[in-house]
Amino acid sequence: MNDIDDRISAALHAAVDGIREQDLRPAEPPSGARSSRQTVRWLAPMLAAAAVVIAAAVTFAVTGSPSASRSPQPGGVSPSPSPTLPQYPVSAVRSSEVSTLSGEPTVPPTPSTLFNGNEPLWPFASMAEAAQWEFVDGPNGHSPWHGDAKATALFFAQNYLQFHDITEVTKALVYPNQARIQVGYDLPGGTKHTASVIELVRYGDDNAPWEVVAAAGPSLSIDTPTTGDVVTSPMTVGGRITGADENITVAIRTINGGLNTMAPAPAGGDNAPWSVTATFDLHGVLTVVASTGGHLKAHERFAVVGVTTQS
């Protein structure tokens, strides 16, 4: 018999021993204060015994068994139950993290899925270069602007295309892996003029750098060649333009500094076609640039398409 059984048995015996013979004799019919005192006198021992039985029943319900063992707590306080942790649904986790959380390796994007047929133009020549910045150079503080779509677009115009009169980001639409950044300059009246809308994609997750893949000017397009085309020299570069007294300059650039520039070609009209024959001696991924200006700035509008040469 365990300790709790012993205590219950002792309490019951004490209650029974306290009942005297005269307490068990039939009581007189209740009448007034005297009857009430006799009733209380007779019920007191029985209530004490009942209290002990109830206490034992409660102990059994809480512990599940009179013999259940518990570590003694200071002051007789029972240990608090462990808190229940909230269970978050799978939808609360970003889809890009699911494979990592489940222990499966994350499949890196390929150029075809990442760029959707576009050529990576600048500032990285390959995904390996982008990974070098993301995991080594960037964490060490080198060129933090790679992680900013607006800064990358503006530097593309100023540093890569050498359009130093493009000084402003006039509007920006930035999504997790895609961005459209409008760049231009301030007009004399104080309003901002957009010279081109530069399209960028991100090389992977939120920490990856941005890459320029194309650009289109307002009312200035390059329709030939199209993005991703394999080209040879000479090639025809053409599109459409709206404007008066325009002169379109076509340049071909490579990320390693190669440059071929064509003589300006007059153009103008309402959505009028324009065309230039371009010759080049460059290889690999080529950035084909068409620009026009001369009214207020040298580069008032420009468009860009990426192509490649045969191996």
Interhelix angle 32-63/3-17, nearest 10 degrees: 170
Q: pLDDT tens digits, residue range 286-303?
A: 999 999 999 999 999 999
Q: pLDDT tens digits, residue range 22-70?
A: 554 554 444 444 444 444 444 444 444 444 444 444 444 444 433 333 3
* Delimiting residues of CATH 2.60.40.10 domain(s) in the chain: 111-309
CB of 131 closer than 8 Å to CB of 203: yes
- Could you give the count of Cα atoms lying within 13 Å of 64 in the half-sphere of its Cβ? 3
Q: How far is CA 4 from CA 10, 64, 66, 70, 72, in A?
A: 10, 13, 7, 13, 14
Q: Compute the C-alpha angle 268/273/278, nearest 5°.
A: 100
CB of 12 closer than 8 Å to CB of 49: yes
Q: Which two tokens stand for residue 33?
A: 């204060």
Spatial CB neighbours of 188, under 8 Å, sequence gap ≥ 6? 296
Q: How far is CA 79 from CA 67, 74, 86, 141, in A?
A: 18, 10, 21, 51
pLDDT at residue 68, as a whole number: 38
pTM: 0.64
CATH number of 111-309: 2.60.40.10
pLDDT at residue 116, as a whole number: 73
